[in-house]
Amino acid sequence: MKIVYLLGTGATNAEKHLECKIKNTGIDEDGKLQAELSSNGVSGRVIDKLVEGDLLDNYGINSDNIHTPWSKKDFDIEFLISILESLKTELGERHSRTLRQYYRNDIIDNIHVTGETITPRLLTSLIEWHNLDGCNEELIGFITLNYDSILETAFTMKHEKFNYGIEDIQVDASLDFEHEKGNPYLLKLHGSFDWFRDTDVTNKLLVKSTGPSESMQWIPPQLFKKHNKPPFNILYKKAQDILNECDILRVIGCSLSANDFNLISLLFKTQMKRGRRNYKIEPIASRKRVKDLIKDRLGFLSFEESFYEKDDWGKLEKESTNNPFLDWLYYIVINTTTDISSTDHLKKIEGMFDLWQP
C-alpha cells in the first residue's frame, strides 16, 4: 500500500499539546491547550492584538463588538485579510501586510514551549513506523500546509532524507535538513517561513533560518491562495502526481475548510478517476471533526470511517485523549504484531497515551 499524508495546523498543534502535557505546562483544567496553533487559535490572538492597537477602528472592528460570545471564535482572519486586499487602497494594503506579519509572528512564537522549539515526537514516531520491516506500507511522502519546519526536524532527528520536490533549492548547512531526490516527498504547498528567494538566481530557493521578509516564499493566509508561479505551481503539480500514485491519503489536523478551496479542488480532481475511486481518504481527527468532514464534503470527496469507530478501538476499553494524532498512533502500536522495540519514539507512544488516562 502506498501512503501519502496531508498535514494541517492540527498536526503541529498535536505535537505542542503532547509537549505541554509532558512538561505539565500550558494546558487548561479541561485538558485543552491555552495557546492553540489551530486557525481559530492564531486568529483569535491576532485579532486581540489588532484591537488593542486600534488598527481596525477604520472598519468598525473594536473591543465593543469583537469580544462577544460568538465573534472572536468565528472570526476568519483569512477572510479579513482578503477583504482588506480587495479594497485596493494604500491603507488597506498596509493593514493587510500588518495582519500577515502578526499572523507569522504568532505562529513562530507559539511553536515554542518553555522557551524551546517543540520536539516532534508524533511525526518522528510516524517516520519510524514506516521504516519498520513489518509495516507493509510504502511512504510516498507528505503534503503539508504548515509554514513551520517541525516535519523537517522530525526527519533530521531520525537522520532521514526527504525531497522538497523542487529542483532549484539550496539548503543552508546550519539547518541539517537533508533534501535529496529519490526520498519521501515533503511538499510545502504554501511555502515556508525559512524559504527565501535568491536575489541573484531567478526562481532559486534558499532554505535558511533568517532572511529579508520581502523575499520570504510563503502564501499568506487568504481566501484564494495563488499558486500559479514558482515554486508553488511546481509543488501543486508534484502533489497531484503523488496523489495519483497513492492508495491511501491520511489527513492529520486539516479541516479542509472553504479557505482550502484549491486543495479541495486538487483532491476532487485526483480521488475519482473514470467513475471509480482512485485512493481512500482516512481522516485522523476527532469524532466530531470526521462527522463534519463527511457532512460538509460528501458528494465532492469520499472519506473512510474514523478509526475511533472501528471494533479494534472499542476493544481497547481506553478513554480517547483530546489528541487524535496520538490516539491513532496508539491504535496502530497496540494492534501491530511488528516488533517496535528498536524504535526511539514509537515504543514510547503507549506511555505518552497513558499520560491522559485517569
Label residue 59 by pLDDT band (50, 70, 90).
confident
Other C-beta atoms lying within 10 Å of the C-beta of residue 292: 16
Domain spans in the chain, listed from the N-terminal domain onward: 2-19+117-354, 38-110
The overall pTM is greater than 0.85? yes
Domain made up of 2-19+117-354: CATH architecture: 3-Layer(aba) Sandwich (3.40)
What pLDDT does 114 receive? Answer: 93
HSE at residue 160, side-chain half, CA atoms within 13 A, is 23
Does residue 177 have a pLDDT over 80?
yes
What is the average pLDDT across 249-262? 91
pLDDT, tens digit, 9 for 90 and up, residues 191-240: 999 999 988 877 789 999 888 888 999 998 888 888 888 999 999 999 99
Mean pLDDT across the stretch 104-128? 96
Q: What number is the average pLDDT over the span 120-135?
A: 96
The pLDDT of residue 136 is above 70 = yes
Q: Which ranges of the chain does DSSP label H, i.e. alpha helix?
A: 9-23, 39-52, 63-66, 71-74, 77-86, 90-110, 121-131, 150-157, 232-245, 261-271, 287-297, 311-314, 324-335, 349-354
Whether 348 and 128 have beta carbons less than 8 Å apart is answered as: no
Could you tell me what percent of the chain has a pLDDT over 70? 95
Across the chain, what does the average pLDDT equal?
90
Cα-only R_g, the chain: 20
The answer to whether residues 330 and 284 touch, using CB atoms and an 8 Å cutoff, is: no
Compute the average pLDDT of residues 289-309.
86
The yes-or-no verdict on residue 313 having pLDDT over 60 is: yes
Which of 187 and 31 is assigned the larger pLDDT? 187
75 SS3 class: coil
Please give the torsion angle defined by the CA atoms of residues 279, 282, 288 and 289, in that order, rounded to the nearest 10 degrees.
-70
Q: How many CA atoms lie within 13 A of 203 on its CB side?
A: 9
pLDDT at residue number 298: 63
pLDDT of residue 213: 86
Among 61-65, 70-74, 179-183, 205-209, name the one with the lowest average pLDDT.
Answer: 70-74
pLDDT of residue 72 exceeding 50, the answer is: no
- How sure is the predictor about 320, in pLDDT bands with cuts at 50, 70 and 90? very high
- Tens digits of residue pLDDT in 257-284: 888 889 999 999 999 876 678 999 999 9
